[in-house]
Structure 1
Amino acid sequence: MRTLIFGDIHGGLRALEQAIERAKITVEDHLIFLGDYVDGWSESAEVIDKLIELQKSNKTTFIRGNHDDLVQQWLEGKEMSPKWLQHGGQSTIDSYSRRSKEEIKAHLDFYKTFKDYHIDEHNRMFCHAGFQNLNGPEHEWHTTVFFWDRTLWEMVCAMREDIVEGDALYPKRLKLFSEIFIGHTPTTRINKTTPVNKANVWNLDTGAAFKGPLTVLDVHTKEYWQSDPLPALYPNENGRN
């Protein structure tokens, strides 16, 4: 059984289906999704349909992203900031406008099952964005840190490459886990469209919300597969550009 990790999808169902096909996923694989399933391309509700379908056939772990949290709030009838509409929210609203009340309720129930983070039997941590508490994620005061934080990724990007575990300057946060897998901050910000490893942190958000592809990575071998860049799959749309 493989453990396969998916980066941010952002409403790109065509990319998700392409990545699944290219990775030759079977029902034996454990699928871990790092969040941000919605907000961006035109098929946010359809992505959730696909995830629910996969949940029925595979062992799955779904992590909550910041955009998933925003959409859950909207589905619950809460007042939303105009900023959400500017960052992909309108595409999600349009996607759900075609859905019945029963379908929306089923999706909302699904959103409520997402995990803030997951730690496996090999002491690997999976979360959408990061964590801040030096004693570990279970000590965080507010769960929003797991899907909004950028300091973890900024820290490892700023580290000198010669600082390794055991050094006095090696960050305490990183010592807590054998590996940490995140999304949230696109690797395209450092001109990469492939998974990026810094220290023991792996970033799988390869910019699918914008001009990059969707990535799925084998946690054991680090082999990865990617969809085509999303603009090629949705040529008449802008995504979050």
Structure 2
Amino acid sequence: MPRKLAIADIHGCTQSFKHLVEDVVALQSDDTLYLLGDYVDRGLDSKGTIDYIEELRRNYTIKALMGNHDLMMKNALEGGPKYDHWFKAGGEETLHSFGTTDIKKIPDCYFDFIDTLDLFYETENAFLVHAGFNFDVPFRDDTEAMLWTRNERVDLQQTHGKKVIHGHTPKAVMQIIDDIRLGADNICIDAGCVFDSKDGVPMGHLTCLDLDTMVLQFVGRIED
């Protein structure tokens, strides 16, 4: 049976991403894989992550969303404070993965990739987004919240009872499993693959959620 799967916040952890997709999830030709943004920055191989997504797109149904780090990388082309902010937030590692210290030497096709990314998807039972939604307004209108919010409140009246599945705010993998088990309306599937720990909480996992069965599969980071 075709599956609808979601992975968030790869952050240049290409080896872990490949291991999860190919060996653990065993992606099939009739599956749909939703990617919830933040492909670049902080990890060792941002270039390889984008290359692998483009490879997957040639053979599978891949629906990729934009994350705040992807947008920051694009905006860094403008230079000035936007470049400085990106560089300090993980852009230095991204440049290194491209073998350059000059963002303008990154081939245009990688910025074209960012331009193809959507902000959210709606499925039969969920809304998928990078960070979340602002339900104080019609939630489809606040595009900044989709990339940046840390507010995990869900207005089920606006979503017509559908859950919100997102990344952006790293959680321990066991907390994600508990949220799923308890039937939470808001489920963050970012298990901080690129981090060893964050705020004292163990991280370092990449997860994949089956959107129909709500079964979570995950791997530990294998880059180092």
Q: TM-score range by the shorter chain?
A: 0.7 to 0.9
Structure 1 distance, partners of 2:39, 2:178, is 18
Cα distance, 1:60 vs. partner?
Answer: 1.3
**Residue of 104, 117, 122 corresponding to 1:119:** 122
Residue 59, structure 1, aligned to residue 61, structure 2? yes
Alpha carbons of 1:55 and 1:135: their partners in 2 closer, same or farther (altered >3 Å)? same
Match of 1:46 among 32, 45, 48: 48
Measure the CA separation in 2 of the matches of 1:136 and 1:59: 29
Could you tell me which residue of structure 2 aligns to residue 147 of structure 1? Answer: 147
**CA–CA distance in structure 2, aligned partners of residues 221 and 175 of structure 1:** 23
Aligned residues: 209
1:234 aligns with 2:223: yes
- Alpha-carbon shift at residue 44 of structure 1 (Å): 0.2
**Alignment partner, residue 200 of structure 1:** 185
Partner in structure 1 of residue 95 of structure 2: 93
Q: 1:220 aligns with which of 212, 215, 222?
A: 212
Question: Matched residues in 2 for 1:42 and 1:64: separation?
Answer: 19
1:179 aligns with 2:163: yes
Match of 1:105 among 108, 116, 119: 108
Q: Cα distance 1:15–1:194, how it changes in 2: closer, same or farther (>3 A)?
A: farther
* TM-superposed deviation, 1:234: 2.7
Contact 1:38 1:67 in 2 (8 A): yes
State the TM-score, normalized to the length of structure 2: 0.84
TM-score, normalising length: structure 1: 0.78
Residues 234 and 195 of structure 1: CA distance in aligned 2, closer, same or farther (over 3 Å) = farther
Q: Which amino acid aligns with 2:24?
A: R
Give, in angstroms, the shift of residue 81 of structure 1.
Answer: 4.9
**What do you get for the CA RMSD once the two structures are aligned?**
2.5
**Matched-pair contact (CA < 8 Å) for 1:133–1:139:** no
Q: Quick one: structure 1 residues 70 and 205, their matched pair in 2 at CA, closer, same or farther if it must change by over 3 Å?
A: same
**Uncovered stretches (5+) of structure 2, i.e. residues with no partner:** 197-203
Runs (4 or more) in structure 1 with deviation over 4 Å come to none
Instruction: Give yes or no for contact 2:176–2:189 (8 Å, CA) kept in 1.
Output: no
| Paired AA for residue 223 in structure 2 | Y
Matched AA of 2:33: L
* Partners of 2:176 and 2:187 within 8 A in 1: no
List alignment gaps of at least 5 residues for structure 1.
156-170, 236-241
Hey, what's the Cα distance between the residues in 1 that align with 2:67 and 2:5?
A: 18
Q: Structure 1 residue 126: deviation in Å?
A: 0.5
SS in structure 1 opposite 2:107? helix
